[in-house]
Amino acid sequence: MNPSTISEFNLTVKLLGRTPRTPFTIKTRCPDNSPQTLIADPVFWEDGIWKPFPPFIWLICPRLKALVGVVEQNGYVKKYSERLKTDAAFYELYLEGHKQMIEVRLNLARRIYPGILPEHIETILAETSVAGSKDLTGVKCLHSHVAQELAYHNNPIGAEVLKMVGNCSRYDVCGSIYLDKEE
Ligand SMILES: [Zn+2]
């Protein structure tokens, strides 16, 4: 599910708001066929060296980005931080999903990197969340949780937020809103 055309690449850049720093894969699409979530290459070649890139999953559907932003404004970042500290079953589920994502990201890095993944890169990728954070229970932003749930169905925070805002349907105009403005 890589962007297959120049205009699809341009649309993705527009939805992300900038040119991605590393190569990426379109992981899920909205019903209007525009990119919904992206997976970034966890290692990339820049300035003559290989570098790690921890922020792994990106939510780029403009509809979901806006609605998840409203949920954040309603205090849910703090609510989920608290929930992770007080609800052991919820935390277990969350941790399980996190561990799965670490494996997925490390396996991808090992496929991309030529040879054996250097230890310092492996350590960084093993010790950060898919949002690139070192603090596991400090929920900073709900977007990456929703993206992880959409892409891998293993994030209980993302699942609850998605229930609140509803996944995109064929009645929604998502990224395709930008298509008419393509050159
Ligand atoms: Zn959408």
Domain boundaries, the chain: 6-181
pLDDT of residue 50: 96
- Segment 10-55, tens digit of pLDDT: 899 999 988 888 999 999 999 999 999 999 999 999 999 999 999 9
C-alpha 113 – ligand 1 centre gap (Å): 32
The rounded distance, in Å, linking the Cα atoms of 74 and 46 is 39
DSSP count for the chain of H helices, then E strands: 7, 5
The more confident residue out of 182 and 112 is 112
- Quote the DSSP letter at residue 118: P
C-alpha 30 – ligand 1 centre gap (Å): 4
> What pLDDT band is residue 4 in, cutting at 50, 70 and 90?
low
C-alpha 61 – ligand 1 centre gap (Å): 5
Whether 3 contacts 9, CB under 8 Å:
yes
- Segment 120-159, tens digit of pLDDT: 999 999 999 888 888 877 788 899 999 999 999 999 999 9
Task: List residues bridging with 40 in a β-sheet.
Answer: 24
Ramachandran angles phi, psi of 63, nearest 5°:
-65, -50
> What pLDDT band is residue 5 in, cutting at 50, 70 and 90?
confident
What strands lie across the sheet with 24-29, from one edge to the other? 24-29, 35-40, 57-59
C-alpha 64 – ligand 1 centre gap (Å): 6
- Segment 43-95, tens digit of pLDDT: 999 999 999 999 999 999 999 999 999 999 999 999 999 999 999 999 999 99
